[in-house]
Structure 1
Amino acid sequence: MLDAAGDIASAALKGLSAVPASGAGDASGLWGTVDHPVRVFLADQAAHLPVAPAALYAFWQLTGLIGLVGGFFGNAGARIAWLLFGIGSLAMIWTAAPADGRAAATGLAALMWALAGIFALRGLTLRPIVHNYPPQFNPALYLHATLPAPTPPGHDAPDNVHPAPALNPHPTPPRPLT
C-alpha cells in the first residue's frame, strides 16, 4: 500500500514538474523550484563537512518521509520531526533561491509542505478535551479514637486521673407536658 502511495505521489510530482513555467527564467518546473534550492544549499554545506552532498540530500529526504509516514500514524516524535523538517526546508529554500524569486519559491514550498502536512498531522486537534460526566466524589469521615482499657476491680487509678466533671452540675427536671 505504501509502495502504491509512493508511486502515486511520484507520478503527481513528475506531472507537476512538467507544467511549463510562467516566466522565461525557470525551466525546471514546479517541483524543481522547490527542490533545486535545497540541493544547492546542501551541496554548499557539504563542502565544509566530510560527507557527500548526495548523502545529505538522501538524509533530508529520509527525514521528511519518516516524519510524513510516522505523523500519519500518530507518532508524536514523527510529527515534531515533520514540523522541523518543513521549517528547515523553508529556511534552506529562502537561503539558496535566487533573490528575485526567493519569496515565490519559499511560499510555494510552504504550500506544498502544508498540503503534505494534512496527512502528517492527521487527527491532531487543538480542541480541549471535555469530560461530560460528574466527578466521582465519595465523602467519608473516619475517626480513630483510642479508648483506655477498663481498670480491673481492685486497682486504683493513678493520682493524675480524675473523673470528668458533669457538663451541667445542676440539671433542671423536665417540665410536664400540658
Structure 2
Amino acid sequence: YNPVSNMKLASGMARIVEMLKLGIRVGIGTDGPGSNNSLDLLQDIKIGTLLQKTRYMDPTALPAKQALWMATRGGAEALNLSNLIGSIEVGKKADIVVIDTRKIRYIPVRDPYTAITYCSSGSDVRDVIVDGKIIVRDGELQTMDLQKIVEDLENAVQELFAG
C-alpha cells in the first residue's frame, strides 16, 4: 500500500480495511521517487490512515496501531521476510528507528502509536540502526559523506541538462 504514490498517480484508493479483514498481508511503503518525491514513510503512514478513514467514512478505520503494524510486521509478512525483519526479536536483523518526540506537536498525545502515526515525519528520526549497524546518529548520516553525495548529484544534473 503506497498511499501517496497512489494519489499522485491517481490510481485509486485501495480497500485496505477489506483486504486486512480477508487476511491479505498488506505492508505500507513509499513506492519510488518518480511517484512519491519525499519518500517519507512516516508521512505516508499518516496519509494512508487518513485515506482509509475517508474511503470508509469511518474515523475508526485503520487505527494507528494497525498502520504501524503494516509498516513493520505486516510489511515483513507481505514480503515473506518475517523470519528476518519486522519485529525486535533474538535472531532477527536489528533494524531500529528512534524518533525524537521532544517537539511541541507530540505533547498532547499520550498513546505512542497515535503520536508516531499522526505527529511524526522523517525529520523526527534521530537514530537508525540497520542489521545492528548505526547508520544515523543524532540525525547525522554516519556511513557516507552526505554533502559529497549531494554535490555529485547536483553536478550530474547540471551536466545532464547542459547538453
TM normalised by structure 1 equals 0.25
- Higher alpha-carbon Rg: 1
The answer to which structure has the higher strand fraction is 2
TM normalised by structure 2 equals 0.27
